[in-house]
Amino acid sequence: MSNNEPNDMRQMTALGRQIETGSFAVIDREVGEHNFPEDQWQVVRRVIHSTADFEFKTLMAFHENAISAGVAALRSGCPLLVDVKMISVGLNADRLGAYGCEVHTYISDDDVIATAKQKNSTRAIESVRKAHRLGKLAGSIVAVGNAPTALLEVCRYIKEENVRPALIVGVPVGFISAAESKEAVMELDVPYIVARGRKGGSAIAVSIIHALLMLSVETAS
């Protein structure tokens, strides 16, 4: 394994690795039967690991090309567009940097805030629009963990302007439009990984991307 590869084994202590391995073993033992292919199960298992919530076994949904598209995009050094800084903080910069991937989030930018107030829009919507203007939407991995309006705006660009992200990780949490935004993603012919319903959040988005990073190492071995 190259020292440039995003390999968790170089970052965890022996005890940390033992605890994580033991946790995954508990999940595998208690989860019961499932129909996920092995690569998709690696993602679902890491989501369950980050939440201790086995309901995600029934909530996670994948486009048939989601894993291959996500892994290929990471290995090509794609940008990552995230809706909130919580996701960017949770991601491992060293692992992404090994592929040349950069993380972008614009929701706290002054111009985004000002435009959202002026238009009575949301910062999430205006941050997606800024990302598109800057060329950070097409070809990117889009990860939305908090703002359904951001996910719906991405869907709009796909439908109206044929903008093509490499992968959408759609896991916003909430009660207003969260479930609906995920269903909207699933109607598009774009690779996606979503957690259906109201559950989601930044930690889940992070866990999905980290699972894809680990899969990217395995496919290169």
Residue 17 pLDDT > 90, yes or no? no
Q: 60 - beta bridge partners?
A: 195
Task: Name the residue range of residue 74's domain.
Answer: 8-220
| pLDDT of residue 5 exceeding 50 | no
DSSP H/E element including 192: strand 192-195
Considering its fold, how many domains does the chain have in total? 1
Q: State the CATH number of the domain containing residue 17.
A: 3.40.50.10230
Query: Do the domain assignments include residue 191?
Result: yes
Residue-wise pLDDT for 158-208, tens only, equals 999 999 999 999 999 999 999 999 999 999 999 999 999 999 999 999 999
User: Which segments of 46-189 are extended strands (E)?
Assistant: 60-62, 80-82, 103-104, 141-144, 167-170
Any catalytic annotation for residue 49? yes
Residue 51 lies in a domain: yes
The answer to the question of residue 64 being in a domain is yes
Region of residue 164 (phi > 0: left; psi between -120 and 50: alpha; otherwise: beta): beta
Q: Give a yes or no: residue 2 inside a domain.
A: no
Q: Is residue 67 part of a domain?
A: yes
Looking at residue 20, what is its pLDDT?
82
Q: Which of 49, 63, 104, 210 is catalytic?
A: 49
Asked which of 22-31, 91-100, 163-172 is least confident by mean pLDDT, the reply is 22-31
Say if CB 199 and CB 56 are below 8 A apart.
Answer: yes
3 within domain boundaries: no
Please give the mean pLDDT across all residues of the chain: 92
In a domain, 1, yes or no: no
Residue 81 lies in a domain: yes
What is the C-alpha to C-alpha distance for residues 150 and 172, in angstroms, rounded to an integer?
A: 9
